[in-house]
Structure 1
Amino acid sequence: MKKRKRILFIANVDWYFNLHWLNRSLAAKELFDEVHISFQITNPELTSNLEGMGFIVHPIKLERKTLNPIKNILTLFQIKTLIEQVKPDYVHSITVKPNLLSGLICKKSKTNQVMSITGLGRVFSNKKLKSRTAKLITIKLYSLISKNNNNKITFENNDDLETFSKYNIATTSRRYLINGAGVDTDEYEYSKPLFREEVTSSFKILFAARMLYDKGLENIISAVEKLKGLNITIDVAGILDHDSDNAISLETILKWHEEKKINWLGSVEDVKPYIYACDIVCLPTKYGEGVPRILIESASCGRPLITTEISGCRDIVINDHNGFTIPIDDSEALAKAIKKLLLSYPMRVSFGKNGRKLVEDLFSQEIVLKKTKRMYDNDLTN
């Protein structure tokens, strides 16, 4: 098969692209002569590393949280100019704002586009008037953009796919389910959970995510405080996201660390040692995710999981099989789930094995990359 010339990935920010999309972009090199990537740059060293891998990087100014129409129009024109300059055979946009802004450009220019839905987020979960209004606008724009017959949409979980089906956004043949980012099961290899001698042992819960209140860290702290008879440390690793209005400040994190409510690890390059050292990985998020990468990685490593009954999370955590799913914002239910797992080593082992099997069957990097390349191939071979 002859390669097409160019693909242009458009994401919101550099660290997100590097964490979640690097492997899929590297796989695109097998199908395209040039792989261009564009995002807001926060770390020039990261940009340099990506350029060293052969990517052509284009910085854009994209503020994720702003609803300021002037700023968004300026970003829209940046993307329009970029697409005109690169002349890609494919634009692959990632997350809401890049999807909508580049989608409008691609619809007008009839450019091939893939939009990746990486979770519907707070806009679809929050019941406040501002969020409900933003949800309606988002649905209208996605509906408009999907009238471009050169447009495809990928989803990381079934719930999001069904939501778009409900609103008749794109035809069935242009919707693709590709389960999360995928993990390298050889790198994130299975390891039997640690055996604790007795109830008085020191247990570890790992929370690894962006430092946002909606990720549920406070719920873990509250749940652990209810479990007076157990010695539990909450290891916390993650990225400080200053662009989000939901961010937990570093000052608050350090305060919790000093009060010994958490053990703050900071932003870690390699999370694997902390997964292997913990007894449970917990992410009680309050809004729809794609499929959280930390849950896939931890399941691959054989650790039991606790998360909430919400889209994306319930795709990787099957209740009472490889972990527990609990109601949103329910510290009492979370405490019960933690206690049940910590007091049963056989359950932790069983859940860990089940999680590993689930990743091998659905969420491995090999499966995800094969599905992604097949999606491109459907057009590239025509």
Structure 2
Amino acid sequence: MKKILFAATVYHHLSSFHKPFMALFQEKGFEVHAIGSNSMGRKDELIELGIICHDIEFDKTPFSSKNRSTIKELNWLFENIYFDLIHVHTPIAAFITRYVASKKKQGKILYTAHGFHFFAGAPVKNWLFYYTAEKIAVKWTDGLVVMNKEDFQLAKKLGYQENENVFKVHGVGVDLSEFKTNAVSEEVDIRQELDLDKDTLIISCIAELSARKNHEFLLQNWKAIIEKYPNVHVVFAGNGKAENKINTIIEQQGLKNVHVLGFRGDVPKLIASSDIVTLLSKHEGLPRCLMEAMACGKTIITSNVRGSTDLVEHGKSGMTVELNDNENLVKSFIKLLGNEQMRIDFGKQGQRKIQDYSLKNVLHEMDTIYSRYLT
């Protein structure tokens, strides 16, 4: 039986984005394996699918001595199991796994870049380390998958050839059947859960609580927004290292109408309840939360960064704002909060565009790529 390996720093990443692709191989009769850490949980979801998991810790600090033991574990794994195809994700895990797998003469190796850590405006240190690392790793990589226009151009600068070993796909896909309606019943309305009036306007931000996701950009302008619209509330769904800092900002500044909900398993409910979905990240690959919002016909306010602007066209399916442009951020929210018809029109535009990003379409795109390397 042919064997396929998916690799990432944590199982949480694989469970969040790659279960449909693992299932695709299982349906074809392949034995599917995964490597990663269970530090963020969700390994059990892979096991329930019949995925064979190998616990391997990757330290996100590039030059950590801990990664020496990781290399030893990978050597042992590849000496005992031959994989016909290895699909790697997340930069450090992808680099180390490609290196060891190539040395041990494993099968073909694919890498999906969910957003290169070197990008327009990135710190110089990112370019020095991550660009150099990816330049080195080209020789260990049979195929590279990217998700946005900027990364596609960067891939060609690294030395990959269009339609030969670099492929641009429509993200990780969104299940349109889960986000197919704007209708909100009382049973799924977040207003009921939070004991809010039915006419309360809801802004949702569904993202890991981290510095990169930049929740502070909204918080520092929140008073100006609710001064104009006192009946608007924002809900943050997600967890992460920045949670304590976010709660401290809310408390110290006395911010009202802000709800930090933690991790949620009912994202469709949150989006369906929302009037506006926002994501103000400092950088992105191709954010699935925005794809889900578009699938549900919701208008978006997002930062003018790679990935987000691949999805949202300013003035047509939402608003894009430059990072740190406080004035335009406030103006964008006030404009959309006060114009329901504009929100509806933008939502319809986004809903039309997102059809190409459906999970069904992306599974077909990836199946075609996989087939190139398994014949």
Query: With structure 2 as the length reference, what TM-score do the two structures score?
Result: 0.88
Residue deviations 1:238-259 (CA, integer Å, cap 9, x gap)? 022xxxxxx3143642762774
Question: Given the alignment of the two structures, is residue 92 of structure 1 paired with residue 87 of structure 2, yes or no?
Answer: yes
Residue identity in the other structure for 1:75:
T
1:69 deviates by 3.5
Contact 2:228 2:334 in 1 (8 A): no
Query: Post-superposition shift, 1:139?
Result: 2.1
1:166 aligns with 2:157: yes
CA distance in 2, matches of 1:260, 1:86: 56
Sort the Cα spacing of 1:370 and 1:348 in 2 relative to 1 into closer, same or farther, 3 A.
same
Question: How far off its partner does 1:271 sit?
Answer: 0.8
Question: What are the ranges of 5 or more consecutive residues in structure 1 without an aligned counterpart?
Answer: 195-199, 241-246
Q: Are 1:371 and 2:365 counterparts?
A: yes
Q: Secondary structure at the match of 1:146?
A: helix
Q: Distance in 2 between matches of 1:99 and 1:110?
A: 16
Match for residue 52 of structure 1? Answer: 48
2: CA distance between counterparts of 1:236 and 1:133?
31
Between the aligned partners of 1:331 and 1:311, the Cα distance in structure 2 is 20
Q: Tell me the SS of whatever aligns to 2:278.
A: strand
Q: Is the 8 A contact 1:206 1:278 kept in 2?
A: yes
Q: CA deviation at 1:162?
A: 0.8
Deviation at 1:169, TM superposition (A): 4.2
Q: Separation in 2 of the partners of 1:81 and 1:337?
A: 54
Counterpart residue identity of residue 365, structure 1: L
What corresponds to 2:229 in structure 1? 230
Q: Which residue of 2 aligns with 1:276?
A: 272
Q: CA deviation at 1:184?
A: 0.9
Matching of residues 97-246 of structure 1 within 5 Å: 97-111=92-106, 112-121=108-117, 123-124=118-119, 128=123, 132-148=124-140, 151-169=142-160, 172-191=163-182, 201-227=199-225, 228-231=227-230, 232-240=232-240
Letter of the structure 1 residue corresponding to residue 101 of structure 2: C
SS of the residue 2:201 aligns to: strand
Point out which structure has higher relative CO (alpha carbons under 8 A, 6+ apart): 1
Q: Determine the C-alpha separation between the residues in 2 that align with 1:125 and 1:80.
A: 36
Identity, in percent, stands at 25
Confirm or deny that 1:34 pairs with 2:45. no
3-state SS of paired residue (1:186) = helix
Deviations 1:221-268 (A, max 9, x none): 22332121212211110022xxxxxx3143642762774352111110
Alpha carbons 1:209, 1:238 under 8 Å: kept? yes
1:345 aligns with 2:340: yes
Distance change in 2, residues 1:17/1:177 (3 Å): same
Q: In structure 2, what is the Cα distance between the partners aligned to 1:221 and 1:292?
A: 21
| Aligned-partner SS, 1:213 | coil
Residue segments in structure 2 that go unaligned for 5+ positions in a row: 186-197
Partner SS state of residue 347, structure 1? helix
- The AA in structure 2 aligned to 1:167 is L
Q: Given that residues 15 and 43 in structure 2 are in contact (C-alpha distance below 8 angstroms), is that contact kept between their aligned partners in structure 1?
A: no
3-state secondary structure, aligned to 1:379: helix
Residue 70 in structure 1 maps to residue 46 in structure 2: no
Query: What SS does the aligned partner of 1:163 have?
Result: helix
Query: Structure 1 pair 170/31, CA: closer, same or farther in 2 (3 Å)?
Result: farther
Cα contact 1:8–1:90 (8 A) shared by 2: yes
Correspondence for 1:285? 281
8 Å Cα contact 2:213-2:279 kept in structure 1: yes
Q: Quote the Cα distance in structure 2 between the aligned partners of 1:134 and 1:224.
A: 31
**CA distance in 1 between partners of 2:29 and 2:95 (Å):** 24
- Do residues 266 (structure 1) and 255 (structure 2) align? no
For the residues of structure 1 that align with 2:243 and 2:347, how far apart are their CA atoms? 33
